[in-house]
Chains A and B, each alone.
Chain A
Amino acid sequence: MNAAIPFSAQLINLFAAVILLLAFAMLAQRRVLALINLFALQGLTLCLATLVAAVTTGQVHLYYSAGLTLALKVLLLPWILYRLVKRLNVKGEVEALINIPTTMLVGLVLVMIAFNVALPISELSHTITRGTLGIALAVVMLAFLMMITRQKAITQVVGFLSMENGLFLAATSATYGMPMVVELGIALDVLVGVIILGVFFFQIRDQFDSLDIRHMERLKDN
């Protein structure tokens, strides 16, 4: 990163770094509600990053995109999740399969991998935000890691949504966003998905008396 980077790009890079930081924070966070807050914060940062990109490039659909992010990932989804946690009365700490420090270490390795994988591609990008592609990939991977290590259904969903954030960041950073129709479709899918999941949580709790996914290990072959 040399000094020739314009301010806006520096800003976006900053936001991207914050998103990565938040991803790590989510990985380390034990409490569900805090996790949802972090997720909302991550969405907000993403929204801001998109907004900066929109202002810089002047592309209209990036504004829509930012608006969509704000509506969906900062307000609606966290709200739904929040309601679910309250209604389902999810209490206590989130237990991880692997302890947190180890997870963090693995996360670090993943970030290195992600950066290395993204490096040759970033160099090809002509957008001002190209550096963030590696970060986006890292966020996706960290979200993945979170889904692997967490044992509550709801945290898996948060991880899943965080992954979407990473993807969104990638779309923004590498290409200034996907075509509008696609973004709308993605947003719709995510929304419907979360609603269906919400329904699911109730059914799962009815059937298993818990949202712990360790109860759901009966279908197996060995």
Chain B
Amino acid sequence: MDFFILMLAIPLVSGALLTVVGERAWAPNLNIIASLGTFAAAAGLTIEIVANGPRFAFGEQFFIDSLNVFFVALTAFVGLTTSIFSGPYMKNEREHGRLTAPRLRLYKGMYQLFMFTMLAALTTNNLGILWVAMEAATLTTVLLVSLYRTPASLEAAWKYFILCGVGIAQALFGTILLYFAAERVLGASGNALLWTHLIDVKGQLEPTIMALSFIFLLVGYGTKVGLAPLHNWLPDAHAEGPTPVSAVLSGLLLNVALYAILRCKVLADGAIPNAFAGNLMIGFGLFTLLVAAFFLSRQKDVKRMFAYSSIEHMGLITFAFGMGGPVANFAGLLHMTMHSLTKSAIFFAVGHATQKTGTQLMADIRGLIRINPLIGWGLMLGTLAILGMPPFGVFASEFMILTHAMKYHPWATPILLLGLGVAFAAIFGKVQPMVFGETEARRLPHAPAITPVFLHLGIVLTLGLYIPPYLTRWFHEASRMLG
């Protein structure tokens, strides 16, 4: 069977299934098995692509090349670990009475559907379908964010829906304009939104239209990435949704949205002179980084704080891709990987921590290392990793971004470093007392799943010290595609 079809079919089918049976005792296992299947299919697909090069599926509607297969693998992997994590987490939530059986059904079903939409968004060749999938991802996650049905979670979900809906609408306008530009070259056939066709004619696309289109696309998808000042939905949604959802929002959804921008940027770069798209992204990236960094120090809620940290990193990545060129793109891709893995690991640890202490307020969380050393260390190491401490991999990519910036945009370096420094002070100053110190312990009915945390951190650590050659080749190929 085709790995690709399998990869899309498993989450779709299991999502539908879990919507019906999601409250059963074995449902978490089904969720994990489905995610495992998706991951296996994604892995198979990855091997296939690495071995045989890019391929199409469903006619030309889907296209998998080394750029998106990398995101696919990452998405499937984090999806798998998150499902592992969410098993005991959700059981504990249910024991605490925060969730009912229908909600669990909704959660598991939507979780798989969300995976489906993301995988579809990543693999589609059609920029229109990309838009559709992104919107669908928003819809599924809106339901996930509002899972607790508390006033706060409803407010967050509402803001998320409206802001991202509006944002996405702008992206649609951008897509229409793109189609408009492409149609003049490719004719009114259905091919005019196919990326593989567009990339061949990108030099002939009308720059004026493309510039306008890219602005709309950037603002639109940028809302979803969390670029300041379009980021306002992000901290709310992260803080108020269940932690597994925060993990996938931060770890995956932001990536997918950024991926959408990247695809468009390649076209825009081909059409518009003077690195117009890149400069816009550099500007957004730096602004986002700075704004998020200063937000960090005022946070009281732990998930909210890490949400801002995600914004900060998205800013950094956007900046990296804005610079362009093989090295910066490589660094950007690496940073996306590292950020996904690390941030989701952090959210896993935070999830268990908040369950143990029964609060998300950082001032009330103390001495995690004494409650459960593994959670404590997981959070501490994860935090240090996300702050760019070597030998974790985040440092590797930050090092590359910084050094590249020093070479080509020296003026930006102090801003970057200011942002990173402020973020360091803010986050570390708050996490340290949470992890260390005295506390009274509380036992949870279901033992937490620690494996995903350390699995992620282990990968991040390894990649910080050693990036295997095949991974390097793969990254290089992907960054070449980004130009």
Contact = CB atoms under 8 A, between A and B. Distances in A.
- Are chains A and B touching directly in their complex (CB below 8 angstroms)? yes
Interface string B170-188: 1011011101100110001
A216 B153 CA distance: 10
A169 to B, nearest CB: 10
A144 B299 CA distance: 30
Interface string A186-219: 1011001100110010011001100001001111
B61 A193 contact: no
Interface residues of A, number: 47
Contact of A208 (B61, B151, B188, B190): B151
Interface in A40-91: 59
Nearest to B151: A207
Interface string B309-343: 00000000000000000000000000000000000
A175 B129 contact: no
A196 B143 contact: yes
Interface stretch (A6-14, A19-27, A92-100, A121-129): A121-129
B172 A167 contact: yes
Contact of B236 (A121, A176, A219): A219
B208 A182 contact: no
A132 interface: no
Interface stretch (B30-38, B159-167, B273-281, B430-438): B159-167
A101 interface: no
27 contacts: A121-B209, A137-B173, A140-B169, A144-B166, A153-B158, A160-B166, A164-B169, A167-B172, A176-B188, A182-B132, A185-B128, A185-B132, A186-B172, A189-B139, A193-B161, A196-B143, A203-B149, A204-B158, A207-B151, A207-B154, A208-B151, A216-B155, A216-B159, A217-B155, A218-B151, A219-B235, A219-B239
B126 interface: yes
A186 B190 contact: no
A193 B131 contact: no
A126 B149 CA distance: 50
Contact of B158 (A171, A188, A189, A216): A216
Interface in B439-483: none
A203 B146 contact: yes
B193 interface: yes
Contact of A121 (B61, B166, B177, B299): B177
B191 to A, nearest CB: 9
Given A200-B157, A204-B158, A221-B295, A181 B184 contact: no
A45 B463 CA distance: 57
B139 A178 contact: no
A158 interface: no
Contact of A179 (B128, B135, B299, B304): B128
A111 interface: no
A175 B181 CA distance: 9
Contacts of B158: 153, 200, 204, 213, 216
Contact of A175 (B149, B176, B236): B176
Interface residues of B, number: 53
Contact of B154 (A182, A200, A222): A200
A163 interface: yes
A147 interface: yes
Given A185-B131, A204-B158, 14 more contacts: A59-B188, A153-B158, A160-B166, A178-B179, A178-B193, A179-B128, A181-B126, A182-B132, A192-B136, A192-B139, A203-B154, A216-B158, A216-B159, A219-B239
Nearest to A188: B132
A186 B170 CA distance: 13
B43 interface: no
Contacts, number: 134
8 nearest A-B residue pairs (beta carbon): A182-B128, A185-B132, A216-B155, A189-B135, A179-B190, A174-B180, A219-B236, A207-B151
A68 B263 CA distance: 29
A213 B177 CA distance: 33
B481 to A, nearest CB: 23
A182 B126 CA distance: 9
Nearest to B128: A182
A137 B126 CA distance: 23
Contacts of B208: 120-121, 124
A218 B299 CA distance: 14
A64 to B, nearest CB: 14
A197 B161 contact: yes
Contact of A124 (B128, B165, B206): B206
A103 interface: no
A117 interface: yes
B240 interface: yes
A23 B460 CA distance: 52
Nearest to A170: B176
A175 B298 CA distance: 48
A175 to B, nearest CB: 5
A160 B165 contact: yes
Nearest to B193: A179
Contacts of B236: 219
Contacts of A192: 136, 139
B176 A196 contact: no
Given A167-B173, A170-B173, A186-B172, A218 B152 contact: yes
B230 interface: no
